[in-house]
Amino acid sequence: MTNPEKIACIETFGCQMNERDTEIMAQLLTRAGYEMTNEPDRADLVVVNTCSIRGKAEQKAMSLLGRLKHSKRTKPGLIVAVTGCVAQQEGGKIQERMNHVDLVIGPQAIYRLPELLDSLQKNGGKMTAIDQAASFTIPSLLPDPGNSALPHKRFVTIMQGCNNFCTYCVVPYTRGREVSRPPADIIAEVKHLAANNVREITLLGQNVNSYGLDRKDRDYPDFPTLLRKVAEIAGVARLRFTTSNPKDLSEELMKCFAELDNLCPHFHLPVQSGSDVILKKMNRKYTIGQYLEKIAGLRRYCPDIAITTDIIVGFPGESAEDFAATMVLLEKVRYHGAYSFKYSDRPHTVSAGFADKVLEEVKSERLRILQARQQEITTERYRACLGHVMEIMVEGESRNGEGQWSGRTGSNHIVNFSGGETLQPGQILEVRIDEACQHSLRGNLI
Ligand code: 5AD
Ligand code: SF4
């Protein structure tokens, strides 16, 4: 039952882990009698779910919080809550700087949101919940099939946190150490979603290859074994996962791409740099030689696999030669796509203390060069699809308008296509590709 006096809005920044956390909070708030809205102006409770991965992400969330100060002036009863990685990182300092923030909740404490709101309403004051317990377990909560933007595909968290400590990365500090969910909870969640017409599942974790390693004593399966179990669940037409560290990518996992029909031929394998010197300073624990062997292994098992990556330019000490090595790597791998970023200092990280920082102009120039070349390669990859018949899963009506539909290939390319009367999201169809655009393909239904 909804209570018209309680309307909540959640603004989400950052990765899929945060998107999933937003779904969980929305579900808990709905249960607690809140109506959810996308319009912050209508809300009595605004939750800002923040990301701290780069300085820019943090600033975006902070400026939204700043604007909420004015909203609170005109609506004194408004409750402002900060969740996500900036909440964990800054804790009570947020409220010291921004007096209008009532609640600061770290990623492990979001399950307590309704209880924290209750006690805030009873006792007033300000609250901070950012404890990170070594014994933390992810509570089991069957997802609400209705509360998602795209109802035919959903994320299922299999583990949280990270033990890798790459020197640039804030995640081990904000999301804590690795915690794997019990396999039975994961299986039950996937079955529940599949029974509610969800056709595509993405298994989520900061470091999915380490799944189960923190719970060896309890005999959890390893990641490839879990993947095989999930792939068997009736109704899962497409299965994906993210994210992996190349150092832990095993032959067993590569085999899954040859053997599991519903595992999509796409692998996001962040490399970060093409220079062994920089990889060492980043504490990535692999060399480019080893990385390329993993790529070759994946392509042996699955020749058509689409490979995407993340790259940081301008890490402290990155020389012109180091950057040139990254450009060489682009030619060697020919990624289907790359997310690339300028290095940014993050609190608590080791690299924030490194000398020889790269100038902002140099970082911008390197990013521009890298992105321009990658765009060419991506377009060449797109063009190679021309004339091919590809299987797509319908996402919905295309933004291009009238009678146009949009779907995704297993390799995760967006395809806009015409033909077909009324299609349902989640339907799988064949499309012949006849045009390659900058960020998508176009085709016709067969
Ligand atoms: N500066 C720039 N990019 C970063 N990333 C992580 N930390 C930083 C940082 N301090 C990038 C990495 C990672 C992606 C999610 O964000 O490429 O894979
Ligand atoms: Fe951002 Fe990383 Fe936190 Fe995701 S885990 S919200 S990317 S800082």
Please identify, by atom number, the ligand 1 atom nearest to the C-alpha of residue 272.
Answer: 17
169 lines ligand 1 (CB under 6 A): yes
Q: Residues 408-420: pLDDT tens digits?
A: 999 999 999 987 7
pLDDT at 134: 80
pLDDT band at 276 (very low <50, low <70, confident <90, very high): very high
pLDDT at 145: 76
Q: Which of 58, 60, 85 to mutate to test the pocket of ligand 2 (most atoms within 8 A of CB)?
A: 85
341 lines ligand 1 (CB under 6 A): yes
Q: Is the pLDDT of residue 150 over 90?
A: no
- Nearest residue by C-alpha to atom 5 in ligand 2: 171
Segment 275-302 shows an average pLDDT of 98
pLDDT band at 146 (very low <50, low <70, confident <90, very high): confident
- Separation of CA 53 and ligand 2 centre (Å): 5
Tokens of 296: 């070759």
50 lines ligand 2 (CB under 6 A): no
pLDDT at 15: 93
Q: Which of 10, 12, 15, 83 to mutate to test the pocket of ligand 2 (most atoms within 8 A of CB)?
A: 15
pLDDT at 402: 74
Q: Residues 216-267: pLDDT tens digits?
A: 788 899 999 999 999 999 999 999 999 999 999 999 999 999 999 999 999 9
Segment 96-110 shows an average pLDDT of 96
pLDDT band at 147 (very low <50, low <70, confident <90, very high): low
Query: Taking Cα atoms as reference points, which of 104, 99, 152, 157 lies closest to residue 131?
Result: 104
pLDDT band at 399 (very low <50, low <70, confident <90, very high): confident
- Nearest residue by C-alpha to atom 2 in ligand 1: 343
346 lines ligand 1 (CB under 6 A): yes
Segment 361-389 shows an average pLDDT of 97
pTM of the predicted protein model:
0.94
Between CA 446 and CA 444 the distance in angstroms is 6
Segment 193-213 shows an average pLDDT of 95
pLDDT at 114: 95
Please identify, by atom number, the ligand 2 atom nearest to the C-alpha of residue 18.
Answer: 6
Please identify, by atom number, the ligand 2 atom nearest to the C-alpha of residue 50.
Answer: 6
370 lines ligand 2 (CB under 6 A): no
Please identify, by atom number, the ligand 1 atom nearest to the C-alpha of residue 169.
Answer: 7
Provide the angle, in degrees to the nearest 10, between the axes of the packed helices 288-301 and 251-259.
30
Q: Which of 171, 204, 310, 339 to mutate to test the pocket of ligand 2 (most atoms within 8 A of CB)?
A: 171
Q: Angle 167-157-206 (CA atoms, 0-180°, nearest 5)?
A: 10
Q: Is the pLDDT of residue 3 over 60?
A: no
- Nearest residue by C-alpha to atom 1 in ligand 2: 51
- Separation of CA 256 and ligand 2 centre (Å): 28
Q: Is the pLDDT of residue 361 over 90?
A: yes
pLDDT at 110: 96
Q: Is the pLDDT of residue 23 over 60?
A: yes
Q: Is the pLDDT of residue 1 over 70?
A: no
pLDDT at 90: 96
- Separation of CA 314 and ligand 1 centre (Å): 11
Segment 107-131 shows an average pLDDT of 93
Q: Residues 151-183: pLDDT tens digits?
A: 899 999 999 999 999 999 999 999 999 999 999
pLDDT at 336: 97
309 lines ligand 1 (CB under 6 A): no
Return mean pLDDT, the chain.
Answer: 94
- Separation of CA 61 and ligand 2 centre (Å): 12
Please identify, by atom number, the ligand 1 atom nearest to the C-alpha of residue 311.
Answer: 17
pLDDT at 4: 54
Q: Is the pLDDT of residue 132 over 80?
A: yes
The three state secondary structure string of the chain is CCCCCCEEEEEECCCHHHHHHHHHHHHHHHHCCCEECCCHHHCCEEEEEECCCCHHHHHHHHHHHHHHHHHHHHCCCCEEEEEHHHHHHHCCHHHHHCCCCCEEECHHHHHHHHHHHHHHHHHCCCEEECCCCCCCCCCCCCCCCCCCCCCCEEEEECEECCCCCCCCCCHHHHCCCCEECCHHHHHHHHHHHHHCCCCEEEEECCCHHHCCHHHHHHCCCCHHHHHHHHHCCCCCCEEEEECCCHHHCCHHHHHHHHHCCCECCEEECCCECCCHHHHHHCCCCCCHHHHHHHHHHHHHHCCCCEEEEEEEECCCCCCHHHHHHHHHHHHHHCCCEEEEEECCCCCCCCHHHCCCCCCHHHHHHHHHHHHHHHHHHHHHHHHCCCCCEEEEEEEEECCCCCCEEEEEECCCCEEEEECCCCCCCCCEEEEEEEEECCCCEEEEEC
Q: Is the pLDDT of residue 44 over 60?
A: yes
Please identify, by atom number, the ligand 1 atom nearest to the C-alpha of residue 351.
Answer: 10
Please identify, by atom number, the ligand 2 atom nearest to the C-alpha of residue 107.
Answer: 3
pLDDT band at 2 (very low <50, low <70, confident <90, very high): very low
